Homo-oligomer: A and B are copies of this chain.
């Protein structure tokens, strides 16, 4: 666990040792299935993720949870109320929980998250759950990194209207209607169904699963829906496509990050180059020159 935590910290800090780490893990570069949980605050998302973790542990799977908060500058530690969760699972070696903030990551949260997921795979975790905190961009980031995106809603109409406005429903592969013991549950399910029917005709029709996270109800059905979606990804060839596309994206982002660092270093070490940039005001030419230098 400590080795893993340290490895993720290296990834977050963009330590040069990451490349060596990557090489060392090369043969183990198995990428685990990633389920992303997203939804507005107050939908009981964290409680639901907790219930899923408990469910998976009962089945004997090891589970890693990455909680991302794009609005938090902090990273690495126990933020977002994870202290409580961590305590609950503190003695369980098969549960790994990690919070990642966004601001520290030059290459963006998705890049750091993807790298962390590869590490989790190499360390043998069976399931990875990605949980977002906050609103806005974070939902889209989850969809970009997760194989299956679970959108958590409640019978509270406000949620769903907000979500529709934000265009967020479109990214859902599975809907969890949580707190399904309170009023309005049937209406939200009906609304969602209408919406799915009105949407584009796709091969995968997002299932709607009612849950009561506080009593762990519906969690088995929810996980079944996630596995079904995963199977659909596999059989349609989409899973393979996703892995390849992500590796391409990741390579492009890592290249960008390396180039950024090279440019900064060159401008620090080469006073003549910096002077020319300042007097001419030509960042394009300077950037090209730096990248084309023999190393």
Contact = CB atoms under 8 A, between A and B. Distances in A.
B291 A291 contact: yes
A28 to B, nearest CB: 9
A237 interface: no
Contacts of A285: 19, 22-23
A258 interface: yes
B282 A26 contact: yes
A11 to B, nearest CB: 10
A231 interface: no
B252 A282 contact: no
A120 to B, nearest CB: 13
Contact of A258 (B29, B251, B259, B295): B259
Interface footprint category on A: 35 or more
Contact of A283 (B136, B251, B290): B251
Interface string A73-92: 00000000000000000000
A134 to B, nearest CB: 10
Contacts of A295: 292
A70 to B, nearest CB: 10
A286 interface: yes
A263 B255 contact: yes
Interface of A: 18-19, 22-23, 26, 29, 31, 118, 136, 243-244, 247-248, 250-260, 262-264, 267, 274, 277-278, 280-288, 290-292, 295
Q: Which 4 A-B pairs have the closest CB atoms?
A: A29-B281, A259-B259, A256-B256, A255-B263
23 contacts: A18-B284, A22-B285, A23-B285, A29-B280, A31-B281, A247-B277, A248-B267, A248-B277, A251-B263, A251-B267, A251-B287, A252-B267, A252-B287, A254-B263, A255-B259, A255-B260, A255-B263, A256-B257, A256-B259, A258-B287, A258-B291, A259-B260, A259-B291
